[in-house]
Structures are given as C-alpha cells and as structure tokens.
Chain A
Amino acid sequence: MSQTQMMKGIIDGCLLAIIAKKECYGYEMAESLSRYGFDTISEGTIYPLLMRMQREGLVTSVLRNSTAGPKRKYYLLTNEGQQALSDFLSRWVQLEKCVNAVIKQEN
C-alpha cells in the first residue's frame, strides 16, 4: 500500500518532467514511462494522476485534432507545475542521496 503511494508520488514527478519537455497526450506519456522502464505499472494509472494534477492547477489541457480517430487531450505545464517539478527534483536528489548513503554504509 505505502509502496504504491510512494510510487504514485514518483510517477507524478516523472509525468511533470515528461510534460515539461514537450506537451503530450496520455498515450504518449504512458509509452514514455514504459520506455524508461516503468513497464510494470498499468498505463491507465496516469489518468487519475493527471486529473488530480489538473485540478491542482499543475497542468492544463487542450484538445487537438489527431490524424486518426477522435481528438486528443494534450497536457501542458503551468507555472505552478514548473514549481512542483523543481520541488520534486530537489526532493528526489535529496532522497537519492540519503538512500545511497544508507545503502553504502550498510553494505
């Protein structure tokens, strides 16, 4: 349970980083995540996260026509989203440092 919670927080940060690079739609994000190695999580997991991030004003969305099929919802980062991303990055660097330190000491 708590592992899932932690995972969600990490995926939140990764989604922000992916969107920061270029605006993209859900399927692209899922593909990116899986390409980077997050292939054990089910793709749909990102939607509740995106919904929350949108509600919190971290991302906005815009509908664009696609070459095939229905319109796609593209996500963009807001200023708050930028801020959340840099917060995440500094927390992550800190966390990584701590975890590495512990592992090095204990082994």
Chain B
Amino acid sequence: MKEKQLSVKSEKFIDDLRVYLFSSGKNDQEIKEITEELEGHLHEAEQNGKSIDQIIGASPKEYMMSISSEMKTDYRSWAKYVPLIIIGSMSFTIFGDLIQGTLSYSIFKIIGTLVYSILFFGGVMFAYRYVARNQVSRIMEFFILLLPIFLSMLIIGGVLFVDSIYKTPMIDFGIIGSWVIGLFLLCFIILFSVWAKTAILPVTLLALHLPTFLLSFTSFNVVTQLITSMVIAYVLIGLYLFYTVKKAKGNKEVIE
C-alpha cells in the first residue's frame, strides 16, 4: 500500500531524535518504540493538516530532552562500538607492525593509543548529540562531525611525537607473543562481526590497512604515509559510523 511520506521537516526531526537518543546512550529497543510512535503521530497529524510545530512545540531541542529524560540510559548499546574503536585503532598499528616483524611498544604508546581511542569515540558521540539536538544544517553537521576526528588525529600525532622524544620502557612481545596477539585479534574480529551482525569491522580494517598498504608503494616518506593513511582511515570510519546511525531507522516502512 502506498503511504504518504512525512514532510522533510518531520523526517529530519525523527532522524535527529533517533541520533540524539542513540548518542545519549539510550536503549535501542526503546528508541525504536518512541520514534515509531512519534512518526505515526506526525503522519496522522500531517494528514489532518497540522504542522510539526503543533506537535513538538517551539523548541525541538527541549522536546528531545524531555523524551530523553524519561528513558533510562543504557550504555550497552554503545558497548559494541567501544571495543570496536579501541581494537580497531590498535589493530591498525598491530597488524601493520606484524607485517614488518615482531611487536614491541613503549608503555607511553600503549597508554596513549588507548586514551586516544576512548577520546575519539567519546568525541564523535558528543558531536552527534550536539548536531542532533541543535538541528543544524547538513553542511554544519559535517563540519561539526569532522571536529572530533580532526582533534583525535592531533592527539595521536602528539602521542607519536612525544613517544619519539621521550623514551619510556619498551614491552617486547617476541615472535610467539606477536603471533598470539595477532591471532587473538583476528579471532576477536571474526567473533565480534558475527555477534554484532555488522560489517563495521571489516570496513574498519580495510579503512585502516588498505591505504597504508597502497601508500607503501608510493615514494612518500614514512611520516607522510603514516599521516595520510590515518587521515583516510578515520574519515572512512567516521563516515561509516555516520551511515550506521542514519541507517538505524532500520525496519522503517517508508515507501516512496
């Protein structure tokens, strides 16, 4: 059956609400329920000639917050992205280094990478919350989302720079240790992809390794290669997360 579509404004509000609730750490199922209910309401209201302003009031931001405050925060919906980002960004280094030999890292670099991964994830989620709540234009949205990606790149750049100047104790994993870690990571990635039913890890890994691999054939120096591949990788990951959140509208039956 053909169904009349929601107005662009209502559609954007529902999308933004979904993103806002997701990035506020709300439960997936509850997000689905309330957005579907509101979508139904908006649909019926628009068919009866009402505008979205009569439904959500003057401030979409306040309305989103009032919905959000009635939902319990459930960071488990995030849980699948946290190890993903941490292991994803670590496997960038680890798989890359494995190709060249055994693993050996300074304590500073290990801690720096961990902190950076968490900041990257937190930053992206914060940016999503901000853009959704404030209903900014698509272009502004893009630039605001680039900000945490850019900042986190500065941080990892800083970590690598400081690491090259100040020597902290090295941890050498040896040949066996390196392969065990490599294998563990591989298993984790496979199991994780199956469990989370998402293609995000293969995408992440390709984003992380393909540019590096391809750039190794160029005549760029090592630092340029490193930075360029990292920029490409994180822009790709950021875009993929963006795509995933937008797709989270999932089983919506909108027929064009």
Which A residues lie at the B interface, using CB under 8 A? 25-27, 30, 42-45, 47-48, 51-52, 55, 68-73
Contact = CB atoms under 8 A, between A and B. Distances in A.
A44 B38 contact: yes
Contacts of A70: 36, 39-40, 43, 253
B110 interface: no
B67 interface: yes
Contacts of B69: 48
B49 interface: no
Interface of B: 1, 3, 33-34, 36-41, 43-45, 50, 53-57, 63, 66-67, 69-71, 253
Provide the main secondary structure of the chain A interface: helix
Provide the main secondary structure of the chain B interface: helix
Given A43-B54, A70-B253, A73-B36, 17 more contacts: A25-B40, A42-B63, A43-B50, A44-B41, A44-B56, A44-B57, A45-B57, A47-B34, A47-B38, A48-B66, A48-B69, A51-B67, A51-B70, A68-B3, A69-B43, A70-B39, A72-B40
B34 A51 contact: yes
A55 B55 CA distance: 22
Contacts of A71: 36, 40
Contacts of B253: 70
A27 B57 contact: no
A47 B37 contact: yes
Given A42-B56, A45-B57, A27 B71 contact: no
Given A27-B41, A44-B56, A51 B71 contact: yes
A64 B207 CA distance: 44
Contacts of B54: 42-43
B57 A48 contact: no
Nearest to B37: A73
Contacts of A51: 34, 67, 70-71
A68 to B, nearest CB: 8
A25 B67 CA distance: 17
